[in-house]
Amino acid sequence: MIYESLSFLSTEIQIFLARKGNLSSEEGLIGLSHVVYEQGKLAIEKDTLGAAVINIEEERTNRPSLPRAVKQADNSIAYQNPVIDLNLSVLFVANFSDYTQALKAISNVIGFFQSNSVFAPDTFPALDARIGKLVCELQSLELEQLSYLWGTLGYSYMPSVLYRVRLVTIEENTILSGGAAVSGLAVDAGGA
C-alpha cells in the first residue's frame, strides 16, 4: 500500500500542476524516486519533482494487540493479526536548473496539499479502496534538522518540502486460525 498511496498522490499532484499550467513542463513532472544514488549523484531527473519516502513509522495509538475475528463468506470465523497503520515521511524535491521554477514547483506542491489534505475513496475514486484514508500534514524542520537531513542524504540542500502521510494501512489477510461461527446457545439446567 505504500507504493499505491504514493503513486496516487503523485498522479493527483501531476493533475493539479497541469491545471495550474504555470510550469514549463507538465508531462512527467513528478515521479517517485530516490533522492540520491549510492554514488552520490542526484537521482531526481532534471526539471522535475521527486517524491521520496525518507521514513516509515507505525501508528500505534489505535492498534489492538490481539488478533481480530473476521466473518467469512461461508459464515465461519477467521482470526487475523491486526492491520498495521503507517505514517510516511515523504520529501518532495524540486530539481530545476532555473531556481525560480524550483520555488514555483515547491509552492505548487504546498498549494496542492493545502487544498487537499485528506484523501478518501469516496471523494477521490482513483484512491485504492483498501487504503481507506490518507491525511497529509506539512512537517516543518528547524534549520539544524534540515541540515542533518540533507547531510544524511549525502547531497547539498535543494528546494524541498516534507509531508507526513498518515494512515497507510498494511493488511495481508493471512488467516491465523478459524472455526465455525456460533449460531446459538443452549443452556443445560442439569435436570433430568
Give residue for cell 521527486: 50
Do the domain assignments include residue 185?
A: no
pLDDT in tens, 56-66: 998 887 766 77
* pTM as predicted: 0.80
Count the domains in the chain.
1
- The amino acid sitting at 45 is E
CATH of the domain at 142: 3.30.2000
Alpha-helix residue ranges (DSSP H) falling in 116-174: 143-153
Q: Of residues 171 and 45, which shows the higher confidence score?
A: 45
Per-residue pLDDT, 79: 80
Burial zone of 146 (CB within 10 Å; 0-12 exposed, 13-18 middle, 19+ buried): middle
pLDDT in tens, 72-129: 778 788 887 777 888 999 999 999 999 999 999 999 999 999 999 999 989 999 998 8
The mean pLDDT value for 158-164 works out to 97
Decide the pairing of beta strands 175-180 and 84-95: unpaired
Do the domain assignments include residue 66?
A: no
CA 152, 156, 157 angle in degrees (round to 5)? 95
* CB-based contact 169:80 (threshold 8 Å): no
* Total Cβ atoms within 10 A of residue 83: 17
Per-residue pLDDT, 29: 85
Do the domain assignments include residue 85?
A: yes
Average pLDDT, the chain: 84
Flag whether pLDDT at 137 surpasses 60. Answer: yes
